[in-house]
Chains A and B, each alone.
Chain A
Amino acid sequence: MKEEELRRKIGTENPFKVPDGYFEGFAENMMRLLPEKAAEETHPKIGVGRRTWRPWLYAAAAVCAVAFIIGAVHRADSTRAADYVAEYTEEEMSDYMATSLFDEYTLYSYLTDEE
């Protein structure tokens, strides 16, 4: 059986249907579904100058962030660890020891800042 025979025997009629009014209302519904492009459209385009210095701005921000983190860590280290735990009672410390992963020597070293 060749294509012509197939066409003669089966035809090319479309057996599928759509709900009433489907095509009529589709375009309007579709346009409502489209994501907004307003932000891109209303803002002026970024000029070449701004594009070129933008990476430097990001780099400067990253350097500031790193400097801040290093400063914060340094300040935390400079405060004796013992100050943080001074307010705990011996009983509380004992409970903590029982459930923590530190051994006594590590905890002692930590509290006295001994290595």
Chain B
Amino acid sequence: MAINEELILRQLHQPATASAAFSVLVKEYTEPLYWHLRRIVLDHDDANDLLQNTFIKAWTNIDGFQGNSKISTWLYRIATNEALTFLKKQSSNDMVSLDDEDSSSLQLEADEYFDGDQLQLRLQEALQTLPPKQRMVFNMKYFEEMKYEDMSEILNTSVGALKASYHLAVKKIASFFEDDV
């Protein structure tokens, strides 16, 4: 059942009802936000940390949210920023390239929470060849089937640019698989 955003927002801004209203949000958006994050960072523990950070940031900044966008869009935007910041830090700390598909493929093979077949493993390898933001665009469209308009608000990018980015991502992934043949 979809939540009544207007009502939730009013409750979030009332100290007496804020906690209960936020609990509704957490229950509603835990799964979609988790999968959004997990597809970006791949590792369960990292996705879990980022999801917690997302909700903590949302909670501490709830007073500043005036409902100019949908609550879900706002939460996705926080989660996306958390993930991109994480990837940036990971890249500079480990000195491992974000495009290093072999390394992430090895990590996934050893990951007890990944049970994809060889084809899915290859898809993840192909995705690692994309820049993080383009990978995100691909995931949001291909797996999450999100509308370009919603993606546009979350990623702060025009619909046209998103369409072009997605088209290019599909092309790159397709050519990755064609090279296999």
Residues of A participating in the B interface, judged by any CB pair closer than 8 Å: 1-3, 5-7, 9-10, 12-19, 22-23, 26-27, 30-31, 33-35, 37, 40-41
Contacts and interface: CB of A to CB of B under 8 A. Distances in A.
B178 interface: yes
Which of A16, A17, A27 gathers the greatest number of chain B CB atoms within 10 Å?
Answer: A16
Contacts of A35: 56, 59-60
A34 B59 contact: yes
B17 to A, nearest CB: 11
A34 B22 contact: yes
Contacts of B56: 33-35
Nearest to B55: A30
Interface in B1-22: 15-16, 18-19, 22
A6 to B, nearest CB: 6
A28 to B, nearest CB: 9
Q: Is the interface of B mostly helix, strand, loop or mixed?
A: helix
A15 B52 CA distance: 22
B115 interface: yes
Given A15-B121, A34-B56, 16 more contacts: A1-B170, A1-B174, A1-B178, A3-B142, A5-B174, A6-B142, A12-B142, A15-B120, A16-B113, A22-B48, A23-B34, A31-B26, A33-B52, A33-B56, A34-B22, A37-B15
Nearest to B27: A27
B103 interface: no
B37 to A, nearest CB: 11
B170 A6 contact: yes
Contacts of B174: 1-2, 5-6
A14 B38 CA distance: 11
B52 A3 contact: no
B136 to A, nearest CB: 16
Nearest to A3: B170
Interface in B97-142: 113-117, 119-121, 123-124, 142
Interface string B49-69: 001100110011000000000
A96 B18 CA distance: 66
Contact of B30 (A16, A19, A26): A26
A21 to B, nearest CB: 13
Contacts of A31: 19, 22-23, 26
